[in-house]
C-alpha cells in the first residue's frame, strides 16, 4: 500500500480522495494500492467522511516517512510551488492538475524530481481526464510530431456552442456558463485564452523538450465573437471554436491560440459543450485524435490518481518526460499560413478586391437570417469574404488601410 497526501481539498482534491476510495479494488489490482493518509487544506471539513485526515500543518506530512506521493490540487504558483519543491527535494513524488505551476516551473520541478529519484507528473494539467501527456511522452515517442491542434478549454467551447445552438449572445452564454459552474466568477483566464495558452505551452514543451513560455504565444480569446461572426461561419458549413495550435517544421515551432472557423469535415467540428479534443499530426501515425472531459471533479481527479499509481509502481526512480530548462525560442506565428474569413462593410469590397484574390463572397439572405433568428438590421450594410491561404504577415499588409474592415477570423 502506498501512502498518499492530498494538498488542497477543493473540487479536484476531493475528487482524488473519492476516486482512490471508490476504485480501491481496481487500483490495487494494477499494482500497489493507494491510501490517503492526510489531506492538507486551509479549512476544516466538519461532517465530511474524511474530516479526520485533514491537517493544516504541512510539516506533519513531510515528517511522516510513510508518505511517498503527494497529489497537489490546490492550484496557484506560490504555495503550491514551495510545497512541491519541498516534497520533491525529500524524494516524495508529486502529481498535479495545476497547469499554472506546470507551465511556469514544470521543467525545473521535473529536474528536481530526477535529482531526487522521484517523479513529477502532471497528466491532469492539460485536457483534464484525457490522457494527453502520457500519449506525447510515452506512446508517440517513435513519431515526429508536426502539429497539435485542439480545443483545450471547456468553458469557452461551452459558450461558443450555446451561441451557436441557442442563438445566445456572448454575454448571455457566459452568464449561463457561470451559473452552471463551468466558468469561474472571474472568467478572464478562460475567455481571454490564458488557460488554453498555458496548456498548449505545456504540450509544446513536451514535444520540443524545451521550456515554452506561454507569454511568448500570441493569444486571442472569444470576448469579441458575435452572432454575426457565427452566421458567416454557418454559411460556410462551419462554426467558430477557440483553437490552440502549435506547428513544428524545419523553421522551428510556431504556436498561437485564437478563434478559428472550423468546417464540418474537421473532426474538431463535432466537439461540443464542455468537451476538449486534440488532433495530433505526426509523421508515421498521421492524424490521431484524443477526446474527452477536459475538466470536472472526477474526470480530472482520475488523471491525478492515474499518475499517483504510476508513481507508486515506479517508486525510487523517475518517470521521464525529457523536458529541459532550455528556453524554446518560438518562430514568429505571423508566418503561419491559413485563409481568413473577413467581415467588412459592403462599400470596402472594391478596394479589397484590388488587394487580394477573394475565393468566396458571403451575403446572408433574409430567409437564412430568419431561419437562424438573426436580425437583418444587424447585417444591413455588411458582408464577408473568404481569402486564399497566405501568411498572417502578408494578410495584415494586404488589408492595412482598407476602410470598412470589421474583423477577421482565421480558418
Among 75, 221, 294, 364, binds ligand HSE (CB under 6 A): 294
Binding mask 169-208 for ligand NDP (x = CB under 6 A): ----------------------------------------
Question: 318 is in the binding site of which of ligand NDP, ligand HSE, none (Cβ under 5 to 8 A by kind)?
Answer: none
Q: For residue 253, give the C-alpha cell.
A: 515551432
Q: Dmax over Cα atoms in the chain, in whole Å?
A: 75
Nearest-angstrom CA–CA distance, 52 and 200? 39
Among 119, 300, 318, 387, binds ligand NDP (CB under 6 A): 300
Catalytic residue among 37, 99, 114, 199: 199
Strand 2-7 relative to strand 34-40, pairing? parallel
The site that binds ligand NDP (CB under 6 A) totals a number of residues, namely 23
Size of the site for ligand HSE (CB under 6 A): 8
User: Would you tell me how many other CB atoms lie within 10 Å of the CB of residue 192?
Assistant: 16
Q: Is 270 helix (H, G, I), strand (E, B) or coil?
A: helix
Say how far apart CA 167 and CA 38 lie, in whole Å: 47
Please give the helix or strand (H or E) that residue 234 lies within, else none: helix 227-235
96/73 Cα distance (integer angstroms): 6
Helix (H/G/I), strand (E/B), else coil: 184: coil
Strand segments, DSSP code E, in 79-130 are: 93-96, 120-121
153 binds, among ligand NDP, ligand HSE, none (CB under 5 to 8 A by kind): ligand HSE
Residue 155 near which of ligand NDP, ligand HSE, none (CB within 5-8 Å, type-dependent): ligand HSE
Has 85 been annotated as catalytic? no
- Which positions from 117 to 136 touch ligand HSE by CB under 6 A, shown as an x/- string? -----------x--------
By CB under 6 A, the residues from 188 to 227 that bind ligand HSE are: 190, 195
What residues between 259 and 298 interact with ligand NDP by CB under 6 A? 295-296
| Residue 287 dihedral angles phi and psi, to the nearest 5° | -80, 140
Residue 36: CB minimum distance to ligand HSE, A = 23
Q: Comparing C-alpha atoms, which of 131, 121, 98 is closest to residue 291?
A: 131
- Copy the grid coordinates of residue 165: 445552438
- Residues near ligand NDP (CB under 6 A): 8-13, 40-43, 73-75, 79, 97-100, 124, 128, 295-296, 300
- Residues near ligand HSE (CB under 6 A): 128, 153-155, 190, 195, 294-295
The residues assigned a catalytic role are 199
Amino acid at each position: 500500500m502506498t501512502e498518499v497526501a492530498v494538498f488542497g481539498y477543493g473540487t479536484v482534491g476531493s475528487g482524488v480522495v473519492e476516486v482512490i476510495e471508490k476504485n480501491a479494488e481496481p487500483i490495487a489490482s494494477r499494482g500497489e494500492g493507494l491510501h490517503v493518509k492526510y489531506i492538507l487544506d486551509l479549512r476544516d471539513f466538519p461532517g465530511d467522511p474524511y474530516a479526520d485526515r485533514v491537517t493544516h500543518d504541512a510539516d506533519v506530512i513531510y515528517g511522516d516517512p510513510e508518505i511517498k506521493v503527494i497529489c497537489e490540487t490546490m492550484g496557484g504558483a506560490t504555495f503550491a510551488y514551495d510545497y512541491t519543491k519541498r516534497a520533491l527535494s525529500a524524494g516524495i513524488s508529486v502529481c498535479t492538475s495545476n497547469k499554472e505551476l506546470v507551465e511556469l516551473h514544470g521543467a525545473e520541478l521535473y529536474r528536481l524530481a530526477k535529482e531526487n529519484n522521484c517523479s513529477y507528473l502532471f497528466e491532469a494539467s492539460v485536457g483534464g481526464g484525457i490522457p494527453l501527456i502520457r500519449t506525447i511522452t510515452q506512446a508517440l515517442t517513435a513519431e515526429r510530431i508536426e502539429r497539435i491542434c485542439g480545443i483545450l478549454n471547456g468553458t469557452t467551447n461551452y459558450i461558443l456552442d450555446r451561441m451557436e445552438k441557442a442563438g445566445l449572445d456572448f454575454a448571455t452564454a457566459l452568464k449561463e456558463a457561470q451559473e452552471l459552474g463551468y466558468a469561474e466568477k472571474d472568467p478572464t483566464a478562460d475567455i481571454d485564452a490564458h488557460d488554453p495558452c498555458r496548456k498548449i505551452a505545456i504540450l509544446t514543451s513536451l514535444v520540443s523538450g524545451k521550456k515554452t513560455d506561454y507569454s511568448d504565444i500570441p493569444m486571442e480569446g472569444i470576448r469579441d465573437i458575435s452572432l454575426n461572426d457565427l452566421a458567416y461561419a454557418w454559411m460556410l458549413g462551419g462554426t467558430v471554436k477557440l483553437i490552440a495550435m502549435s506547428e513544428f517544421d524545419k523553421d522551428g515551432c510556431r504556436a498561437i491560440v485564437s478563434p478559428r472557423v472550423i468546417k464540418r469535415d474537421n473532426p474538431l467540428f463535432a466537439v461540443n459543450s464542455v468537451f476538449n479534443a486534440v488532433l495530433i499530426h505526426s509523421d508515421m501515425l498521421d492524424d490521431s485524435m484524443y477526446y474527452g472531459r477536459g475538466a470536472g471533479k472526477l474526470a480530472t481527479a482520475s488523471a491525478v490518481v492515474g499518475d499517483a499509481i504510476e508513481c507508486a509502481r515506479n517508486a525510487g526512480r523517475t518517470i521521464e518526460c525529457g523536458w529541459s530548462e532550455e528556453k524554446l525560442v518560438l518562430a514568429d506565428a505571423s508566418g503561419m499560413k491559413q485563409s481568413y474569413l473577413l467581415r467588412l462593410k459592403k462599400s470596402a469590397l472594391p478596394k479589397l478586391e484590388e488587394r487580394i484574390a477573394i475565393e468566396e463572397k458571403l451575403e446572408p439572405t433574409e430567409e437564412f437570417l430568419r431561419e437562424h433568428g438573426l436580425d437583418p438590421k444587424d447585417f444591413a450594410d455588411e458582408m464577408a469574404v473568404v481569402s486564399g491561404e497566405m501568411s498572417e504577415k502578408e494578410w495584415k499588409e494586404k488589408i492595412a488601410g482598407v476602410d470598412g474592415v470589421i474583423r477577421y477570423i482565421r480558418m
